[in-house]
């Protein structure tokens, strides 16, 4: 049996069928859209949807669009339908009455890279794992007793900050208040998390790494809007930048954990106040804890804290 492809393509009935199928699918899609009650939406462009309308200041662009299209507005960010809510009443209903439904954040590629698989409190899907992680965090790291134990750390950091501001004002020099407050907050967090492993160099390093995290998380990742084009991210350098920063985080966390583990093996070592890493290492193999406390989980919790 022989096949004549040339004659097949010249068959009018075949050509008509090929033209008819896309038109049928398009009409079905339009019919479904008409029967589905969706919020109002700005006019979209093919492929990119409403991405072009976000501008360099998305919060202002969304506010302007909501003035025109209402407090409930549907945007198409590439392939991702996104509901924008500009009503305080509706936001309250979502955050309170329906919080369990809307608790999970959408998966973000660079968050998975930077935040150890996105398994921390900020990005982990809402479920049993998230609840157990929150329970561990609240009961063992942020209990009133633990917070109170670091009172002297907070007082020392406040005194240091006031002294720095006083010196700058007496010399009539310029003072970057943002840097001062960031350094102040990071000093308290690092002292509580690292204990004796804390140094000014680590403080500066964590400030630098955190700033880089915020910058990377604020950039658009192709895969988040166009999943099938995720391979393009390698050409824009964002994924490489995220992996580089993640390795720096992991290196310093490994160093801190090793320092603490070495001290805890010393039978004569009795810490005045247990820092957060001490607490977590003491919970390893603790049957009262629902989660498996391992090195990776300690890194995840350290990232949450910092």
Q: What is the pTM of this model?
A: 0.74
Phi, psi of 81 (to 5 degrees): -70, 130
- Answer whether residue 23 shows pLDDT above 70: no
Whether 83 and 138 map to the same domain: the answer is no
The rounded mean pLDDT for the chain is 83
Q: Which domain holds residue 88?
A: 39-102
For residue 183, give both structure tokens. Answer: 């350094």
CB 289 within 8 A of CB 136: yes
- Domain assignment present for 245: yes
Are 271 and 134 part of one and the same domain? yes
pLDDT in tens, 75-111: 998 888 988 999 898 888 888 888 888 888 888 888 8
Q: Is the pLDDT of residue 22 over 60?
A: no
Nearest-angstrom CA–CA distance, 241 and 212: 9
Task: Quote the number of domains for the chain.
Answer: 2
Both 61 and 144 in a single domain? no
Confirm whether 270 is domain-assigned. Answer: yes
Percent of the residues in the chain that have a pLDDT greater than 70, as a whole number: 86
Give CA–CA dist 33/20, Å, rounded: 20
Do 136 and 265 lie in a common domain? yes
Over residues 27-61, the pLDDT tens digits come to 555 555 555 688 899 999 888 889 889 888 888 99
Q: For residues 203 and 64, state if they share a domain.
A: no
Band the pLDDT of 14: cuts 50, 70, 90.
very low
Higher pLDDT: 175 or 35? It is: 175
> Is pLDDT larger for residue 105 or for residue 208?
208
């Amino acid at each position: 049996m022989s096949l004549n492809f040339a004659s097949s393509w010249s068959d009018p009935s075949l050509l008509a069928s090929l033209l008819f199928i896309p038109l049928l699918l398009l009409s079905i899609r339009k019919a479904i859209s008409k029967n589905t009650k969706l919020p109002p939406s700005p006019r979209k462009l093919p492929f990119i949807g409403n991405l072009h309308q976000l501008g360099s200041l998305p919060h202002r662009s969304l506010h302007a669009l909501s003035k025109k299209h209402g407090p409930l507005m549907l945007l198409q960010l590439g392939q991702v339908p996104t509901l924008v809510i500009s009503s305080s009443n509706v936001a309250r209903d979502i955050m309170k009455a329906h919080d369990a439904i809307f608790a999970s954040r959408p998966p973000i590629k660079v968050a998975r890279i930077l935040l150890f698989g996105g398994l921390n409190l900020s990005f982990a899907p809402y479920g049993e794992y998230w609840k157990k992680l929150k329970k561990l965090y609240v009961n063992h790291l942020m209990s009133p007793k633990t917070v109170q134990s670091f009172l002297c750390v907070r007082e020392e950091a406040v005194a240091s900050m006031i002294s720095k501001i006083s010196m700058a004002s007496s010399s009539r020099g310029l003072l970057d208040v943002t840097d001062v407050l960031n350094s102040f907050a990071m000093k308290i967090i690092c002292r509580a998390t690292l204990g004796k492993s804390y140094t000014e160099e680590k403080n500066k390093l964590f400030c630098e790494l955190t700033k880089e995290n915020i910058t990377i998380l604020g950039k658009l990742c192709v895969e988040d809007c166009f999943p099938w084009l995720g391979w393009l991210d390698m050409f824009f350098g964002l994924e490489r930048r995220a992996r580089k920063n993640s390795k720096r985080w992991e290196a310093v966390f490994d160093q801190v954990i090793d320092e603490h583990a070495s001290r805890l093996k010393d039978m004569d070592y009795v810490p005045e106040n247990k820092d957060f890493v001490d607490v977590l290492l003491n919970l390893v193999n603790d049957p009262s804890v629902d989660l498996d406390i391992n090195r990776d989980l300690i890194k995840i919790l350290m990232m949450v804290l910092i």
